[in-house]
Amino acid sequence: MEAQAHIFLYEAAALSAFAGVQIKTLDGNNGAMNPGDVEAAIRGDDIHQPETGLICIENTHNKAGGAVIPLENMQKIYQLSRDYAIPIHLDGARLFNASVASRTPVKEIAKYTDSVQFCLSKGLGAPVGSIIAGSSDFISQARKWRKRLGGGLRQVGVLAAPGIIALEENIQHLEQDHENAKQLAEGLQNIEGLVVMNKVETNIVLVDITNSNRTTENFINLLKEHNILTGAFGPNIIRFVTNNGITRNDVNNVLLAAQKIVNL
């Protein structure tokens, strides 16, 4: 998986703790792994090494600022996976953002994987929930592991209902989220002391506040006083995310607040 993959950085080593597997990371470009690097990293039948059992792709890529992994890149890695008989899992928490931003149907992205996970929350706006999809055999195994890990739920209709709304009604709002993010990025870039770090393709804006002469914690707390919630994303970097319910007026309020904070 790519070196800044979410399931490597943020899942408390769950892959190793639960599955007993070792993770091999590759430096990518804007979240995308080079297919040649992927092939070179595949480990086979060597008594000294663990064999490669899975390739993971993240689309959109969180740490790359919501970058969309090009379909051509996924196609090439998928072909490699067929050549070496290695399955591919897609961490598609924001898969529908990738689809909308690239004008590519979700099924066209998903067909270059063996299993897919995506969130009903985040941009799709449901209060909770994620979906995992794959072959019938894969889902049978997933259900068993969900039970083992205590993930089975009863009376899930109350959660499924907003999930259905998310899929049927909220995908169309994602494009507005992306436009709001681009507007936000343009405005923040024009504030002296702030630097937008990523090319904004979807709904994530990463801002370096080093030259604002404020700490990340202080900047975030001052934003909170304006009822604006953001998150730290590394030393001197703050992540802004536009999502369901955020309006252009909200974007303007963020820009006004950020300007006031820089001027303090």
Each residue's pLDDT, cut to its tens digit, for the chain (264 residues) gives 999 999 999 999 999 999 999 999 999 999 999 999 999 999 988 899 999 999 999 999 999 999 999 999 999 999 999 999 999 999 999 999 999 999 999 999 999 999 999 999 999 999 999 999 999 999 999 999 999 888 877 888 888 999 999 999 999 999 999 999 999 999 999 999 999 999 999 999 999 999 998 999 999 999 999 999 999 998 899 999 999 889 999 999 999 999 999 998
**Global pTM?**
0.92
Amino acid in position 60: T
Is residue 1 in a domain? no
Asked if the peptide bond before residue 247 counts as cis, ω within 30 degrees of 0, the response is: no
Greatest Cα-to-Cα distance within the chain, rounded to the nearest angstrom: 62
Range of the domain at 212: 173-263
* Residues 150 and 125 both lie in one domain: yes
- Output the CA angle 25-30-31, nearest 5 degrees: 40
Q: How far apart are CA 73 and CA 10, in angstroms?
A: 24
Question: Which residue, of 153, 171, 189, is where some domain finishes?
Answer: 171
Please report, as a single letter, which amino acid is at residue 109: I
CATH number at residue 128: 3.40.640.10
Split into its structural domains, the chain has a count of: 2
Name, in order, each residue with C-beta under 8 angstroms of 198's C-beta and a sequence gap of 6 or more: 64, 65, 66, 67, 204, 205, 206
Domain boundary among 171, 206, 237: 171
